Copies of this chain bind each other. A is one copy, B any other.
């Protein structure tokens, strides 16, 4: 893969590399949603959530649309959810492996 593509891909992963942003995506999994609901869901300062939404927007992971006073956000490509889910699977597998190793250690000591 060429240098520019690697950089772009790294930037996409970087956009996912924050718990608050993952939580925003979790909320958007239920469908499009206005900022006020997102803020309720993820908690914290309005301006902070807005900054994180901007990061997701700049990475083209979400896009927004004004509806009267509100702004509604939506995921650009639902494949992003598969990525998040796969990563979750990796973590669960890791944990399971660690647990297995720990268990066999405990058995060998007993």
Interface residues of A in 26-77 (CB under 8 A from B): 26, 60, 76-77
A6 close to B (CB within 8 Å): yes
A87 touches B83 (CB 8 A): yes
A102 close to B (CB within 8 Å): no
What number of copies of this chain does the assembly contain? 2
Residues of B within 8 A of A101 (CB): none
**Contacts A86-B82, A88-B9: A77 and B93 contacting too (C-beta < 8 A)?**
yes
A68: min CB distance to chain B, Å: 26
The size bracket of the interface on A is 35 or more
A positions within 8 Å CB-CB of B:
1, 3, 5-14, 16-19, 21-23, 26, 60, 76-77, 79-80, 82-84, 86-91, 93-94
19 further A-B pairs in the complex, CB-CB below 8 A; given A6-B23, A14-B14, A79-B90: A1-B26, A1-B88, A3-B19, A5-B88, A6-B19, A6-B22, A7-B19, A9-B88, A12-B91, A13-B13, A13-B22, A14-B17, A60-B94, A77-B93, A79-B86, A79-B93, A83-B86, A83-B87, A83-B90
